Amino acid sequence: MALIKRRSHDEHSNTLPDNLHPVLRRIYMARNVVDAAELEHGLNRLLPYHDLKGINEAVTLLIDALNKNQRILIVGDFDADGATSSALAVRALRAMGATYVDFLVPNRFEYGYGLTPEIVNVALKSQPELIITVDNGISSLDGVTAAKSNNIQVLVTDHHLPGEQLPHADAIVNPNQPGDEFSSKNMAGVGVIFYVMMSLRVALREQGWFEQQGIPEPNLASYLDLVALGTVADVVPLDHNNRILVAQGLARIRAGECCPGIRAILEVAGRKLENISSTDMGFCVGPRLNAAGRLEDMSIGINCLLSDDMNQARLLAKQLDQLNHDRRNIEQDMREQAFQFIDSLQMDDEADLPVGMCLFNDEWHEGVIGILASRVKDKLHRPVIAFAPAGVGLIKGSARSVKGLHIRDALDSVAAKHPGLIHKFGGHAMAAGLTLNAGDYARFAQAFDEEVARHLTEEDLHGTIYSDGELVGQDINLQLAEYLKKAGPWGQGFPEPVFDGVFELVNRRIVGEKHLKLLLRAPGENMTVDAIAFNTVDHDWPTVVNRVQLAYRLDVNEFNKQRNAQLIVEQVEPV
C-alpha cells in the first residue's frame, strides 16, 4: 500500500486571480504556480526561439536547401514523439515550398535507434542532399560522419541529453546541448522541430520568399495538434512553455481543427473531439502510435499523421488499433512471466529485492520491454531495466526510474566504473536504453544494483501518492470536476490533482470481474457519489466495512448523455 503524502503550499506571496476557485488556488500553488501569468496559455507567452543555440545556422541551412530545391530527408525516431516530429517537419517544409521532402524512420529491430551508418546507407537510395534528424541525432556521431562522407549535409534537432562529444553536423538545435541559453530544457523532439520551423518561417517572410514563390505563408499553429500529442506522449515535464504548446494543440483538436490522422485515431479509441484532454493523448493516441514502432514499422503511424484523406487515415488508424491490441496481449504475457520470476526469488519481503532490478527473458519482445519495465517499476517502486535479445550475442535493455535517481547518469557511472561493460546507452532522467553483450548480463545487474543503492534510501523504495488534500463534501460536484479538466493541461511534472479522505461506504460491487464499483457518502453529508477503482477487488476485505480511505481523482463520467461527478480511485482500503 502506497504512502499518501499531502502536497505543501505557501498561502502567501502569489498573484493568482482573486476569483480563482479556492481548490484550484491550492492546487496551483502546490505546483509552484504563484503568478497569474503562468496560467496564460496564449502563443505570445512562448519563449523566444532565438535563445536556442544553433537556430540561426539551422535556418541558414534550410533556406539554402529551399533555394537550391534540394532533396530533404527527415530521419525520425520510432516512438510517438519521433512520429509527430517527422510528420510536422514534412508538413511544414512542404507548406514552405520544399518540393522533395520525405521521411525515413529506422526499423528498431533491423537498425536500432538514431542516425546510424546503416540508416545512412538506406538513405542513400533516395539521394538526399540534406538530412534532418528529429527526436534523435545528438548521439549519432558515426551516422553523421557517414552522411558527411557521402556529401550529405546534416541538421540535428533533438532534445536528448548529449554525451561528452557532439556529432560534427552542419547545425545542431537541442536545448540541452552545452552553451544553450533557452530557459526550458524540457521540450520534446516535436517541440524542438516546431521552434525550428517557426524561426524558418520568420526568415522566409523577411526575405519575401512566399510572395516570390506564389504560395501562402503557412499558419504553423495548425501543427500544434501534433506538438501536443508528441509532447504528452513523450512524458516530458510540462513546464509553462510546454503547457502552452499542449493547451493550444488540445484547443485545436477540441475545435475539430486537427489532422485527419489524429481525428481517426481518436475515433477508433472511442473518444469525442470536444472532450479531449491531455490524458487522452497520453493513454489513447500515444500508445496506438507507439504500437507501430514497437511491433512493426512506425511508417504506418507517420503516414497516418501525414494523410489528408480521412478514409485513408481511418484505415491506417485501424491498423494502429490492431497493433496496439496485439501489443497489450504480448505485454500481458511478459508481465506475468516477470512477476512469476520475482515471486520465485522466494524472498521474505520486498526489502530483500535488488534496489536496482534487472529482468531478462530470451523470449521477450524487444519492442515491449519499455512498457514492461514501467509496469514492474510501478509495482516494486524501484528502478527497473527489462532486457530482451537484440541480435547475435547482444541484449537490449529499457530502463525506467523513480524519483531520486537520474537513470542516464546512473548508467554513465556504471560505464565509467566498468569500461566495456555497456556497448552504448542514452536517455533521460526517468527513462533510458542500453545494449550489452548477453554474457555480461549478470555482471551488469550486480553493478547496476550497487550503483542504485548508492543513491536511494529505504524510504525512496516505497510508493508515494501525493495528495492535494481533502475535499469537503460540497466540493465533490460536477462543476469542480469540469473546472479541473479545463485547468490543465496536466501531465509529467504538472500532475493531475489527487485528493484523499475517508468516506462512508454505502455499497460496493465488482464489475467487469476485476473493477471495484463503490457508492460513497462524505461524512456528515446526505449526497452520495459514485467511485470506481480499476483493477481492484475486495476479496480480502472484512465482510462488514462501513468506511474506506481513498486517494482519488475527481472526474466527469458521461453515460447515456448524462454527466455526473465520479471519483477515480488511485488507492482504497477499509477503515
Domains of the chain, residue spans: 3-23+468-574, 45-320, 345-461
The torsion angles phi and psi of 562, rounded to 5 degrees, stand at -105, 135
Question: How far is the C-alpha of 87 from the C-alpha of 277, rounded, in Å?
Answer: 21
What is the CATH topology of the domain spanning 3-23+468-574? OB fold (Dihydrolipoamide Acetyltransferase, E2P) (2.40.50)
Q: If 0-12 CB within 10 Å is exposed, 13-18 middle and 19+ buried, where does residue 407 land? A: buried
Question: How far is the C-alpha of 471 from the C-alpha of 457, rounded, in Å?
Answer: 32
The domain 45-320: what is its CATH number? 3.90.1640.30
Q: Cell for 102?
A: 520525405
Q: Is-same-fold flag (45-320; 345-461)?
A: no
- Residues with pLDDT less than 70, the chain: 10-13, 346-351
What are the beta bridge partners of residue 431?
Answer: 400
- Cα torsion 13, 16, 21, 26: sign: negative
Question: How far is the C-alpha of 456 from the C-alpha of 353, rounded, in Å?
Answer: 13
Question: How far is the C-alpha of 266 from the C-alpha of 317, rounded, in Å?
Answer: 9
pLDDT of residue 126: 92
At which residue does the C-alpha cell 496496439 appear? 324
Give tens-digit pLDDT for 312-353: 999 999 999 999 999 999 999 999 999 988 888 755 555 578
pLDDT of residue 297: 84
As its CATH architecture, domain 345-461 has: Roll (3.10)
Give tens-digit pLDDT for 199-222: 999 999 999 999 999 999 999 999
pLDDT of residue 431: 87
Q: Cell for 482?
A: 469540469
Residue type, 221: A
Helix 299-306 to helix 310-344 angle, to the nearest 10 degrees? 150
Helices (H), 214-309: 224-233, 240-254, 260-268, 278-280, 286-295, 299-306
15-49: b (≥16 Cβ within 10 Å) or e: ebeeebeebbbbbbbbbebbeeebeebeeeebbeb
Q: Are 198 and 241 in contact (CB under 8 A)?
A: no
**Would strands 528-533 and 562-574 be described as parallel, antiparallel, or unpaired?**
parallel
- Cα torsion 530, 533, 537, 543: sign: negative
- Verify cis geometry, omega within 30 degrees of 0, for the bond prior to 106: no
